[in-house]
Every structure is written in structure tokens, then in C-alpha cells.
């Protein structure tokens, strides 16, 4: 039974998130339906990350198994055809070892958050940025970000509904850069807590507005208290950019 790894781009605006929902459209559900139309098989599509409603992806990764073996290019093109008109595209499809798991084999996940800080609202990027109708101090935000790098208890920046066993995570990258009116926040880690990136962005915005001093990011982290977090940034500005994996092969795991 061949295993396929796909790299996916999607606009998260019309979806309730990655995971299949009983009461609305999801990215995962749309893929399952399109793959079923390819060859009549109902498969489990497992993703590298469960993006929330409205979150976008430039390089989400998923895998699934098919009973019938198809050329990888055929799977990509046929599933893309059956996905229409949903704003989801399979960028790449490869056959991979049965030991590969899109979620558990990942060694790094990379996210981008886009803030548009200007008086005029976006036209082309509506639902794809967080529009803040005033200037933000990107330099202050960049100065505050390094306080979160490394291994910490991120309880302050964790959703109350987060199901992770531990709030301790290692944040490998948190860069803030300004490109014209846009502020781009890039975060990388092996894994993230639920709402961690959006919570960090909302707190950095407080620094950019002058509501928090630069030192408050470190103080909020050390408090390990959700009430010390800034307002949660909206999902519309968040993108799953890329997921990294070790080089193959991925042999099947030996039974215990």
C-alpha cells in the first residue's frame, strides 16, 4: 500500500480549520473528498499541523495511503482537479516510505505572521493580514522578541483549551522585520502550543503601540500566567510556511 506525501497551499478564509468538522468545511475534509473522487477510496489524511479557522498555508504537509498505486504526478493533478473551486492546491506529491508521518516525523515548523500597519485598509490582502490602522514601532517589537527564544514554559502564550501535556517548548526563531507598511513576524520551532504564535504576535503589538515596554515580554513569559498575555492576534494574518523533515528513507516501524 503506497504512502503519499503532499505539500499543500491554501487560503484558510472559508474553512473552519484544518481538521474535519461536523458543522462546516475543513481543509482536511476537502482533501478526503477529492481523493475519494480520484479512485473511490476513503482515506485518512494526516497533516503536520492543525491550523485554526482562517489560518493560511504556503507549505502544509500531509500524508495518506492508497490501496491502488498511482503515479505521484497523477495524484497531484487529479486531486487538484477535484478540489475545485476550493482554494486548496497540492503543490507537490511524492511516494514515500511507510514510516513517514507528516506530524510525528517533522523536525521544524515555520510560521509567518503579517501585520499591515497603515491608515488605509487592505484591498488585495483582505483576510490575509492583520490590519492595524496606525503605525507600529517595529524596532521595539524586534528588540522585545529575543526574550522568548530558547526553551521556556510558555503558559502565558498558550490557549486555555490547549491539549499539549506540557507548556515547555523551545522557540528557535522569532524575527520581526518591517517591509514598507507591513510588519512580518517569523517564528520557527519543532512544535508549537495552541495559539502560541498568535498570542506572541498580540503581545508584540502591545510593544509596537507603546502599551508595553520592551522588557514586558520577558516579564510576561516569566509570569507563566495567561492573564499576562496580550490580546490574541486574529487568524487571518497567520501562515504555515514550511515543515522540515529529516532525509529519508522512512522504513516502517518495527512492531512492538
pLDDT tens-place string over residues 205-224: 999 999 999 999 999 999 99
With bands split at pLDDT 50, 70 and 90, how would you rate the model's confidence at 242? very high
Q: Is residue 112 domain-shared with residue 235, that is, in the same domain?
A: yes
Q: For 42-94, how does the pLDDT look when each residue is reduced to its tens digit (9 = 90+)?
A: 999 999 999 999 999 999 999 999 999 999 999 999 999 999 999 999 999 99
CATH code of the domain containing 226 = 3.30.70.660
CA distance 215 to 211: 12
Q: Is residue 74 domain-shared with residue 167, that is, in the same domain?
A: no
Question: In the chain, how many domains are there?
Answer: 2
Please give the residue range of the domain that contains residue 147: 108-241
**Domain assignment present for 256:** no
Q: Which of 11, 23, 52, 244 is catalytic?
A: 52
Q: Is residue 147 domain-shared with residue 87, that is, in the same domain?
A: no
The reply to whether 52 belongs to the active site is: yes
pLDDT at 256 over 80: no
**Domain assignment present for 250:** no
CA distance 77 to 89: 9
Q: Which of 52, 87, 105 is the last residue of a domain?
A: 105
**Domain assignment present for 167:** yes
Q: Is residue 186 domain-shared with residue 114, that is, in the same domain?
A: yes
Q: Is residue 69 domain-shared with residue 125, that is, in the same domain?
A: no
Q: Is residue 112 domain-shared with residue 99, that is, in the same domain?
A: no
**Domain assignment present for 148:** yes
**Domain assignment present for 29:** yes
Q: Which of 105, 126, 158 is the last residue of a domain?
A: 105
With bands split at pLDDT 50, 70 and 90, how would you rate the model's confidence at 254? low
Residue 255: predicted pLDDT: 58
Q: What does the pLDDT average to over 108-127? A: 97
CATH code of the domain containing 61 = 3.30.70.580
Start-to-end CA span in the chain (Å):
21
Q: Is residue 149 domain-shared with residue 42, that is, in the same domain?
A: no
CA distance 220 to 18: 30
DSSP per residue over 82-126, as a string? HHTTSSEEEEEEEEE-TT--TTTT--EEEEEEEEEESSSPPSTTT
Q: Is residue 73 domain-shared with residue 131, that is, in the same domain?
A: no
Q: Is residue 79 domain-shared with residue 8, that is, in the same domain?
A: yes
Q: Which of 59, 76, 105 is the last residue of a domain?
A: 105
**Domain assignment present for 251:** no
With bands split at pLDDT 50, 70 and 90, how would you rate the model's confidence at 236? very high
**Domain assignment present for 253:** no
**Domain assignment present for 246:** no
Q: Name the one residue in this structure whose C-alpha cell is 502560541.
A: 196
C-alpha cell at 180: 514598507
Q: Is residue 96 domain-shared with residue 83, that is, in the same domain?
A: yes
Q: Is residue 164 domain-shared with residue 176, that is, in the same domain?
A: yes
Q: Is residue 72 domain-shared with residue 148, that is, in the same domain?
A: no
Vertex 76: Cα angle to 73 and 80 (nearest 5): 145
Amino acid at each position: 500500500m503506497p504512502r503519499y506525501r503532499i505539500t499543500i497551499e491554501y487560503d484558510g478564509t472559508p474553512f473552519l480549520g484544518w481538521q474535519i468538522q461536523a458543522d462546516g468545511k475543513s481543509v482536511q475534509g476537502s482533501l478526503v473528498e477529492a481523493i475519494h473522487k480520484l479512485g473511490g477510496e476513503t482515506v485518512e489524511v494526516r497533516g503536520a499541523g492543525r491550523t485554526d479557522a482562517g489560518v493560511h498555508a504556503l507549505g502544509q504537509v500531509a500524508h495518506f495511503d492508497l490501496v491502488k498505486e498511482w503515479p505521484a504526478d497523477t495524484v497531484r493533478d487529479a486531486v487538484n482537479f477535484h478540489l475545485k473551486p476550493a482554494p486548496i492546491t497540492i503543490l507537490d506529491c511524492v511516494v514515500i516510505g511507510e514510516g513517514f508521518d507528516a506530524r510525528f516525523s517533522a523536525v521544524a515548523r515555520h510560521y509567518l505572521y503579517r501585520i499591515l500597519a497603515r491608515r488605509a485598509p487592505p484591498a488585495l490582502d483582505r483576510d490575509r493580514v492583520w490590519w492595524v490602522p496606525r503605525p507600529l514601532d517595529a524596532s521595539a517589537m524586534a528588540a522585545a522578541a529575543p526574550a522568548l527564544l530558547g526553551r521556556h514554559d510558555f503558559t502565558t502564550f498558550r490557549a486555555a483549551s490547549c491539549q499539549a501535556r506540557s507548556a515547555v517548548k523551545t522557540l528557535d526563531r522569532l524575527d520581526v522585520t518591517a517591509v514598507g507598511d507591513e510588519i512580518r513576524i517569523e517564528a520557527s520551532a519543532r512544535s508549537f502550543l495552541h495559539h502560541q504564535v498568535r498570542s506572541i504576535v498580540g503581545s508584540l503589538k502591545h510593544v509596537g503601540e507603546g502599551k508595553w515596554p520592551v522588557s514586558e515580554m520577558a516579564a510576561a513569559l516569566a509570569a507563566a500566567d495567561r492573564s499576562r498575555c496580550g490580546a490574541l492576534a486574529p487568524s487571518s494574518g497567520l501562515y504555515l510556511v514550511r515543515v522540515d523533515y529529516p532525509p529519508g528513507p522512512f522504513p516502517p516501524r518495527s512492531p512492538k
